[in-house]
Amino acid sequence: MLKKLFSKLHSDEVRKEKEYEIKFTGDIDETVQSINNIVGESDDIIQRDFLIGKKIRATLFFVDGLCDSASIEQDVIRPLIYFTDVKRYDQKDFLTYLQEEVVTISELTTETSLEKAMLPFLSGETILIIDGIKELILFETRQFNERSISEPESEIVVRGPRDGFVETLHTNILQIRRRIRDPNLTVQFGALGRRAKSDFALLYIKGVTNQRYIDEMRYRISCVDTDQVVETGTLEQLIEDNVLTVFPQMLRTERPDKTVAALMSGQVVVLHDGSPFSLMAPITFHMLFRSPEDYYDRWQISSFTRLLRYLAAFLAMFLPAIYIAMVSYHQGMLPTLMAISIAGSREGVPFPGFIEAIVMEITIELLREAGVRLPRAVGQTIGIVGGLVIGDAAVRAGIVSPIMVIVVALTAIASFAIPAYNVTIAFRLLRFLMMLSAATLGLYGIVIVYIFINIHLVGLRSFGTYYTSPFAPYRYSEWLDMFIRAPLSLMNKRFPELKPEDKNKSG
């Protein structure tokens, strides 16, 4: 049934762009009229009529603001108006002559169809129409206003480069190019969205990245058929393997150094104009725990922080559930003194452990969401109000026990210790499922849900690679870069699960 629906959507005749399929007769009035028919209603489209060498009629079209008007004036209009050799006009190679000897702009193309000229025109190129010539001339006059390069706010490292991606595609590619001067680094452009037609770039290193992933990525992106893709996040959802999962199947980052590392390890990278996030694929579960910093610090330090992150993931997912299971089902597991102290602190709390935990967890999720939305100055206050005042007041009012506050606080801190924000959300969601199962079936419920998550993970793929590798299937060489990060001199192989065409990265 869905298939039928999709095919119906695709056959939608409205989307076809027949109105652009116009053949030029060479009559300038007619051409100008047809361009005006398409874009004339917009006030920011500027039409500039002038005479070449005081004789030949010509018209320029450009979009105000997208173009460098100084360049148009200096390199296009001025040479054409002061042009004197009007006799050449009657000869056949007049257009080539203009291109080669008159106009001084660095880049220009000619186009015979208005349809093809529309996209470059709307992204900032200037159209020149000359009376009697059946071709359009397009001048590269694009100019950007962009945010300056700054430190990415969502991924802060102590040791490492401070630059981050910006919203302009070309600046981002530049940042990568500056780091990899390999001629095999390939950058391919394309347009996304039926209406928006925003630019994206596909990056990979020839001879390292497996051709299968490049083809697969290209295929999936070309299958995207939607009006507009605003962000790489949207693109990610449209091309991922499995929609019914909380686990990300592509990594995103604002950091050029992380992107470069991904390229070097044989992943495909997608950049999108208008988004400071790059997409990297394929990935495995254990890559979610890696931060670029791991490779800049000495290996003992990095290994320690890696282990901490796995512990953090464990706590973020299991701690409230284990607390609930302990206080509701398995009091006997705790040492007597601790059991007594927990029981003492829970005295007077009117709710069972589950209600207590869920109330506090929801409170902390609310605080986090509010903290993100608020202006930075107020955000700090919310932290203090929420953390101290509500926590303390709730304990004093006897709604929750002090131990519960510790559990919730520890869980919240642990969930911030994972380097990628979107991964944290996955663990946060699963935590609620865990709590529910712990409340109904205790430890048995926890282990059953854990088994369910594992079954789900072994079935998950990221662009056809096993998500749980290097653990299942075993890939020993990558174990050096999993729970611990071995000395760099030992890690001389690329991750075999990515099936790189060049298997060695050093020595």
**Based on CB atoms, which residue is closest to other proteins, 26 or 473?**
473
Q: State the nearest-atom distance from the C-beta of 427 to other proteins, in Å.
A: 18
Q: State the nearest-atom distance from the C-beta of 474 to other proteins, in Å.
A: 6
For other proteins, what does the binding mask look like between residues 270 and 309, x meaning CB under 8 A? ----------------------------------------
Site residue total, other proteins (CB under 8 A): 34
Q: Is 214 in the site for other proteins (CB under 8 A)?
A: no
**Based on CB atoms, which residue is closest to other proteins, 119 or 340?**
340
Q: Is 406 in the site for other proteins (CB under 8 A)?
A: no
Q: Is 416 in the site for other proteins (CB under 8 A)?
A: no
CA distance linking residue 412 with residue 390, whole number of Å: 15
Q: Which of 72, 63, 58, 13 is nearest to 38 (CA)?
A: 63
Report DSSP letters for 420-439, one per residue: -HHHHHHHHHHHHHHHHHHH
CA distance linking residue 217 with residue 240, whole number of Å: 10
Q: State the nearest-atom distance from the C-beta of 155 to other proteins, in Å.
A: 29
Q: Which of 418, 480, 477 is nearest to 247 (CA)?
A: 418
**Based on CB atoms, which residue is closest to other proteins, 391 or 445?**
445
Q: How far is CA 117 from CA 30, 92, 113, 120, 272, in A?
A: 16, 23, 6, 6, 22
Q: Is 455 in the site for other proteins (CB under 8 A)?
A: yes
Q: State the nearest-atom distance from the C-beta of 456 to other proteins, in Å.
A: 8
Q: Is 314 in the site for other proteins (CB under 8 A)?
A: no
Q: Is 207 in the site for other proteins (CB under 8 A)?
A: no
Longest dimension (CA), the chain: 106
The residue within the footprint of other proteins, chosen from 2, 158, 223, 337 (CB under 8 A), is 337
Extract long-range pairs of 341-349: CB within 8 Å, 24+ residues apart: 342/401, 342/403, 345/401, 345/402, 345/403, 346/401, 346/403, 348/398, 349/398, 349/399, 349/400, 349/401
Output the CA angle 68-74-76, nearest 5 degrees. Answer: 85
Q: Which stretch binds other proteins (CB under 8 A): 19-27, 197-205, 358-366, 464-472?
A: 464-472
**Based on CB atoms, which residue is closest to other proteins, 9 or 338?**
338
**Start-end of H helices in 127-255:** 169-179, 211-223, 232-239
Residues at the interface with other proteins (CB under 8 A): 329-330, 332-339, 441-448, 450-452, 454-455, 457-459, 461, 464, 466, 468, 471-474
